[in-house]
């Protein structure tokens, strides 16, 4: 059972005031740059991404069909990987000739926090058939190490016992 503190002269609005203060403190440090605000309001195309990891590397695969390689920007700064791009609407056909437009167009920005185990100096990006693959190699100290066990005729404790007997 929870213990509830009794406050005899509590205002009916004190709970609302407390909630307002908590929300204010939560969003106080949350600042957006103008570039991020623009991307959030204008971008309606968000490419799906697969992120997977093995013992050697972290790999991200973004589906960006119809986007030219020159229209993609991949940056890694302060452990934040940012991918920006722009899918442009082709104006070859007049819009009134279209019966339906379901593909999304516009700018996008995707950001990912990179783990400390990743070597930020060895990042590779490859673009093939509409899929952008970003490979982040792990640092050598982050890779798992396997210790080999030597199999011999006698163990170290047996050798020590033989040395004691000989003396």
For the cut 60, the answer to whether the pLDDT of residue 47 exceeds it is yes
- On whether residue 72 sits in a domain, the answer given is yes
Region 71-94 average pLDDT? 84
pLDDT of residue 66: 85
Q: What CATH number corresponds to the domain at position 134?
A: 2.60.40.790
Q: How far apart are CA 3 and CA 1, in angstroms?
A: 7
- Alpha helix segments (H runs only) across 8-155: 14-28, 34-42
**Residue 153: C-alpha distances to residues 104, 140, 156, 161, 162 (Å):** 69, 34, 10, 14, 13
Rounded Cα distance between 131 and 68, Å, is: 11
Residue 41 lies in a domain: yes
Could you tell me if residue 152 is inside a domain? Answer: no
Predicted TM-score (pTM) of this structure: 0.57
Does residue 11 lie within any of the structural domains? no
Asked if residue 82 has pLDDT above 60, the reply is yes
- pLDDT confidence of residue 125: 94
Ordered DSSP codes for 62-90: EE-TT--GGGEEEEEETTEEEEEEEEPPP
pLDDT of 83 higher than 90: yes
CA dihedral (111, 127, 55, 140) positive or negative: negative
Q: What is the mean pLDDT of residues 34-51?
A: 63
**Over 50: is that where the pLDDT of 38 sits?**
no
Question: Is 112 contained in some domain?
Answer: yes
pLDDT digits (tens, 9 = 90+) for 109-157: 999 998 888 888 889 999 999 999 999 998 887 666 677 787 875 555 5
Q: Is residue 63 part of a domain?
A: yes
In a domain, 14, yes or no: no
Q: Within a domain: residue 10? A: no
Structure tokens at 163: 């040395």
Range of the domain at 73: 33-144
Stronger pLDDT, 122 or 10, i.e. the higher one:
122
Q: Name the domain count of the chain.
A: 1
């Amino acid at each position: 059972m929870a213990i509830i503190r009794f406050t005899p002269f509590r205002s009916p609005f004190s709970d609302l005031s407390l909630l307002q203060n908590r929300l204010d403190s939560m969003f106080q440090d949350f600042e957006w740059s103008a570039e991020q605000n623009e991307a959030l309001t204008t971008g309606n195309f968000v490419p799906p991404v697969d992120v997977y990891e093995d013992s050697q590397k972290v790999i991200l695969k973004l589906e960006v069909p119809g986007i030219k390689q020159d229209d993609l920007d991949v940056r890694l700064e302060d452990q934040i990987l940012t991918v920006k791009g722009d899918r442009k609407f082709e104006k070859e056909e007049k819009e009134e000739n279209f019966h339906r437009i379901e593909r999304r167009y516009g700018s996008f920005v995707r950001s990912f926090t990179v783990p400390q185990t990743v070597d930020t100096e060895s990042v590779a990006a490859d673009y093939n058939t509409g899929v952008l693959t970003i490979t982040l190699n792990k640092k050598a100290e982050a890779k798992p190490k396997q210790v080999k066990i030597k199999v011999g005729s006698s163990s170290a404790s047996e050798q020590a016992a033989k040395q004691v007997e000989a003396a």
